[in-house]
């Protein structure tokens, strides 16, 4: 992470997919808001949250800023702490949860060794 940057948003797939990473707080939201707002007209719109380590109301604003047009963003691999933020803020009905972090398949259990 350069120059104290602790989080950000990558725009991919012809502006239809955002990948958020790290700490998505007010400072990140302020830095990327205009760039992200310019991509909202592209459909379908998905946001991968799997690499988000922290999110405050600034990050929540980014996730929800396109909902005013009547569209629900699809959230991919949403971590538990972001789910809690959406729930506590009453915003769960404003998004589509495609896959939460807990929906990912569990790793296979280790093979048992015989005590030979």
* pLDDT tens profile 16-71: 899 999 999 999 999 999 999 888 876 768 999 999 999 999 999 999 987 866 68
The total of other beta-carbon atoms located within 10 Å of residue 69's CB is 8
φ, ψ of residue 52 in degrees (nearest 5): -80, 125
- pTM (2 decimals)? 0.79
| Domain 7-98, second-level architecture | 2-Layer Sandwich (3.30)
Distance of alpha carbon 100 from alpha carbon 61, whole angstroms = 19
Pick 30 or 2 by higher pLDDT: 30
| Cα(116)–Cα(103) distance, integer angstroms | 37
Q: How do beta strands 17-24 and 7-12 pair?
A: antiparallel
């Amino acid at each position: 992470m350069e120059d104290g940057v602790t989080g950000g948003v990558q725009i991919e797939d012809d502006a239809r997919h955002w990948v958020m990473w790290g700490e998505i707080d007010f400072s990140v939201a302020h830095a990327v808001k205009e760039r992200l707002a310019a991509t909202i007209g592209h459909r379908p719109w998905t946001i991968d949250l799997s690499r988000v380590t922290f999110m405050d109301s600034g990050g929540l604003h980014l996730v929800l800023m396109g909902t005013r047009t009547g569209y629900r963003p699809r959230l991919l691999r949403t971590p538990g702490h972001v789910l809690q933020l959406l729930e506590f803020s009453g915003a769960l009905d404003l998004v589509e949860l495609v896959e939460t972090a807990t929906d990912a398949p569990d790793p296979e259990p280790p093979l048992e060794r015989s005590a030979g």
